[in-house]
Amino acid sequence: MKEQIKIPTSKIQRAASFAGAGAKIGGNYLKYYIKKAVNSDTQRDELNEDNAEDIYDTLSKLKGSALKVAQMLSMDKNLMPKAYQDKFQLAQFSAPPLSYPLVLKTFQQELGKTPLDVFQTFGKNALHAASIGQVHKATIDDKVYAVKVQYPGIADSVSSDLKLVKPLATRILNLKGKDIDKYFKEVEIKLLEETDYKLELRRSNEISKACAHIPGVIFPTYHSQYSSARILCMDWINGVALSEFVKQNPTQEERNKIGQAIWDFYMFQIFELMKVHADPHPGNFIVTKDLQLGVIDFGCVKEIDADFHKDYFMLLDSESIENDDLFTKILYKLEYLLKEDNVQIVPIMKHAFKDMLVLLGKPFNADIFDFADDTYFKSIYDLGEKFSKMTEIKEANGARGPQDAIYINRTCFGLYSVLNILGANVKTGKRG
């Protein structure tokens, strides 16, 4: 893959890149409509492929928050055409890497040394490149390390990038209404945290230690002496990314074993630690030859407020959903229903939330759940499509739900999606 020799870092440069992508997309539409006028059988597939290529090309060169949006989009199968999904999946771990001179510059700025002053060997070519940084392989004696190097200027561009992608992010996070600043503040905080590798190192050690007892789950050891705010060093885990594991056509038993490890890891975090690895996608899980699940990248961790936790997961419990008084009380408390809602919209919104929560809560209310069942996921997306066309819901004013729900929703949907990709049948076990 061709390396980048620079990243646009100023607000003007990054805004110009977005504008350039917009111009290309406009040209793609013009080309499509001309072809359509000549041949009425012309399909939108070519248009989607051209647009996906141009958008991803821009985002991959910008990296940071802009590319993170593409990564989030790639986890939702029905949010956009397949051409976009296929292209945006590259953001998980296969974005265009930076050239070695930029890596060398980051080492000199952060550690005052070159990579070969720190390690005996250091691979000049990145083995994995994602939205915030890229990973290089290094050694000291017989010890092998994964060294994550952050892209230049990413931390400084988070806030301005969010303004540029705000319309797109609004759609991704399903935010409606005028008062959405608190939601974007939550996203901004989390993205800024992802650029702080010292914070990631601390959280990685904390969660790894707390979850070390979970069967089938392993974590790398992190090395503070070779790390900084923009460089993170950890042990290398031999294995393949989860998406590659699936391509190897594992047996159902093997799929179930890895899926169970993922589920148990997340349930322990959510219900015991009250904080969670909030970026579940295939690029953050490594499967070893002996079928252990390696968990990496604790850049995005959501600490869960106790009151929010209680109310949120009660809404996913079948008994709470069937208790109308309790169900209504929680909807108001979490601001899914608003005091200013008129009497006509309240029953419509209640019914919509109930239908959706019954579906989303199914894995939590079952003893065993088959995440390979595509009909389950289709029913969720079909219901969302139905609600998106309901005039009453579209016209309901106000952004709904607490800001804490953004990353917990993302975690749950990401977890479900990863287990669906894996095709796992998991003992979920209804929690008491």
Q: 82-86, 110-114, 426-430: which range is least confident on average?
A: 82-86
Query: What per-residue confidence (pLDDT) applies to 24?
Result: 65
Q: Provide the pLDDT confidence category of residue 432 given band limits of 50, 70 and 90.
A: very low
Residue 202 gets the label, from left (phi > 0), alpha (psi -120 to 50) or beta, of alpha
Q: What is the pLDDT of residue 392?
A: 79
Q: Determine the average pLDDT of the residues in 62-72.
A: 63
Q: Considering 91, 124, 150, which residue would you say is the last residue of a domain?
A: 91
In this model, does residue 173 exceed pLDDT 50? no
pLDDT classification of 95: cutoffs 50, 70, 90: low
Does 329 reside within a domain? Answer: yes
Least confident residue range of 70-74, 200-204, 381-385 = 70-74
- Does 288 map to a domain? no
**Looking at the predicted structure, is the pLDDT value of residue 273 above 80?**
yes
Q: Which of residues 43, 69, 91 is at a domain's end?
A: 91
In a domain, 121, yes or no: no
Q: Which helix (H) or strand (E) holds 294?
A: strand 293-295
Query: What does the pLDDT look like over 124-168, one tens digit per residue?
Result: 999 988 778 899 999 999 999 999 999 888 888 777 777 777 665
Among 91, 121, 155, the domain boundary falls at 91
Find tokens 């890149």 and name the residue.
17
State mean pLDDT over 164-185: 62
Q: Name the domain count of the chain.
A: 2
Residue 194 lies in a domain: no
Tell me how far apart the alpha carbons of residues 10 and 18 are, in angstroms, rounded to a whole number.
13
Q: Looking at the domain assignment, is residue 98 inside a domain?
A: no
Band of the pLDDT at 55, cuts 50, 70, 90?
Answer: low
Which pLDDT value is given to residue 283? 85
- Does the residue 36 lie in any domain? yes
User: For residue 353, what pLDDT is reported?
Assistant: 92
* Mean predicted confidence (pLDDT) in 114-118: 97
DSSP lists the bridge partners of residue 295 as 285
For the chain, the maximum distance between any two Cα atoms, rounded to a whole number of angstroms, is: 71
pLDDT at 118 > cutoff 70:
yes
Give residue 340's domain range. Answer: 306-403
Q: Cα(140)–Cα(134) distance, rounded to whole angstroms? A: 20
What is d(CA 357, CA 380) in angstroms, rounded to the nearest whole number?
Answer: 10
Task: Determine, yes or no, domain membership for 398.
Answer: yes
Q: Which helix (H) or strand (E) holds 301?
A: strand 301-303
Q: How confident is the model at residue 183 (pLDDT cuts 50, 70, 90)?
A: confident
> Per residue in 252-272, pLDDT tens?
999 999 999 999 999 999 999
Higher-pLDDT residue of 292 and 153 is: 292
**pLDDT per residue as tens digits for the range 372-406:** 999 998 898 788 778 767 777 767 755 688 989 98
What is residue 193's predicted lDDT score, i.e. its pLDDT?
92
Average pLDDT, the chain: 83
Task: Report percent pLDDT > 70 for the chain.
Answer: 73
In a domain, 247, yes or no: no
Residue 265's Cβ-count burial label (10 Å; 0-12, 13-18, 19+) is: buried
**Which is higher by pLDDT, 158 or 60?**
158
What are the DSSP calls for 61-76, one per residue?
HH-HHHHHHHHHHHT-
Sign of CA dihedral 320, 326, 331, 334: negative
